[in-house]
Structure 1
Amino acid sequence: MHFTMKEGGFTTELPYGELHISGNEELGFRPFQLLVSSIAVCSGGVLRSILDKMRLSYEDISMEAKVERNEAEANRVEKVYIHFTIRGDLDEKKIEKALHLTRKNCSMVQSVIGSIEVEETFEIVK
């Protein structure tokens, strides 16, 4: 990836399009937003794949991500909470197993182990 400086931040060109990154969210995505998004969306994609492999029928998956930061240490990301809402007639124990496998197979979660705590919760909406 190649990054080019612009007023207020940087840009990079990716296959999907241009990505604007800035500490000012009026000029681009903030770095912590990209980090949290990467963790949440990677987890959601892996969960979706696992549910499909388990042949579990679901209508929708959505996630709510919250972040805990430490202002005393450069506003460091300390913890990411991901709450999954899964719509479908599903068994809670099977979703717990799927989330355990998700954590083990999500490259973004695995990349931050030891530096950022990731906590996943879920609810099933029938």
Structure 2
Amino acid sequence: MVTSELILDGRPLLEHCERSAKQTFDVVSPIGWTSPDYQTAFVERLLLRQPAVLPSGRREVLVCPECADLGCGCISADVSSDGEYFVWNEIGYENNYAPEMLSIFPMGRFVIPKAELLHQLRGCIPDLQ
């Protein structure tokens, strides 16, 4: 399986999360190995073009490496945008059937220039608008 990890502040997002939570997680980016339709839907949600699918309203960022099912657990973020930047805040671990199990990591937020995020995503999904 070939995945495309999002790099934030020079490191993969998973590394930031594991350092902050002081534990490992068996999750990956869904980009690069899931179906093209899944990848498109994932990116549309991440870019706030489509509604979130998690009951919490948060956006999944890293998912189960075997099936991408959110019921297996995922790393998610509260994502917002002012047009020029995306803000990923309250990054944590959750699933789609027990919202009360959301565990927020003790880490700050990421402010990502829109152009930078689009550049990273287009490296894997060239047709992305």
Q: TM-score under structure 2 normalisation? A: 0.24
The answer to which structure has the higher strand fraction is: 1
Say which one has the larger Rg: 1
The answer to which structure has the higher helix fraction is: 1
Q: TM-score under structure 1 normalisation? A: 0.24
